[in-house]
């Protein structure tokens, strides 16, 4: 085990988690810190759900941010996200959700977009 690796409840935390060629985006946070956000996987969500044992959806998102983000070259944990400036947390949340929870664009229903389909009174 490398010096910067830790195993908690059978889950590796820290260490070299990124794969060669893995999709990583770098953003500058409002505080000026540099964050690297990598593509998330099911295992990341599972770890985040374990970290947020109470099942609170907000806690899971914060834990997921911690799973897929490095700040200024350092791995962060859930508690680090709790202590960050709100603007940084919001920027990371948007980045993680945009990357990992892409949804197809919503189509306007034909009834609402077609003026001929509206009833006349």
The 3-state secondary structure of 16-73, one letter per residue: CCCCCCCCEEEEECCCCCEEEEECCCHHHHHHHHHHCCCCCHHHHHHHHHHHHEEECC
Whether 72 is in a domain gets the answer: yes
Per the model's pLDDT, the better-predicted residue between 37 and 20 turns out to be 37
Whether 47 is in a domain gets the answer: yes
For the stretch 68-118, pLDDT in tens is 999 999 999 999 999 999 999 999 999 998 755 555 554 555 555 555 555
Whether 69 is in a domain gets the answer: yes
**Alpha-carbon span 92 to 40, nearest angstrom:** 13
pLDDT at 21 over 50: yes
How many domains is the chain partitioned into structurally? 1
Whether 20 is in a domain gets the answer: yes
Residue 41 is part of a domain; what is its CATH number?
3.30.2220.20
Whether 8 is in a domain gets the answer: no
Q: Is the pTM of this model over 0.85?
A: no
């Amino acid at each position: 085990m490398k010096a910067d690796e830790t195993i908690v409840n059978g889950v590796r935390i820290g260490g070299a988690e990124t794969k060669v060629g893995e999709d990583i985006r770098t953003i500058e946070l409002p505080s000026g810190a540099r964050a690297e956000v990598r593509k998330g996987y099911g295992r990341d969500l599972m770890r985040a759900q374990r970290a947020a044992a109470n099942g609170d959806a907000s806690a899971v998102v914060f834990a997921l941010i911690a799973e897929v983000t490095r700040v200024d070259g350092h791995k962060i944990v859930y508690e680090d996200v709790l202590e960050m400036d709100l603007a940084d947390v919001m920027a990371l949340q948007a980045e993680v959700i945009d990357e990992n929870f892409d949804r197809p664009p919503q189509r306007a229903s034909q009834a609402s977009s077609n003026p001929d389909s509206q009833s006349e009174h």
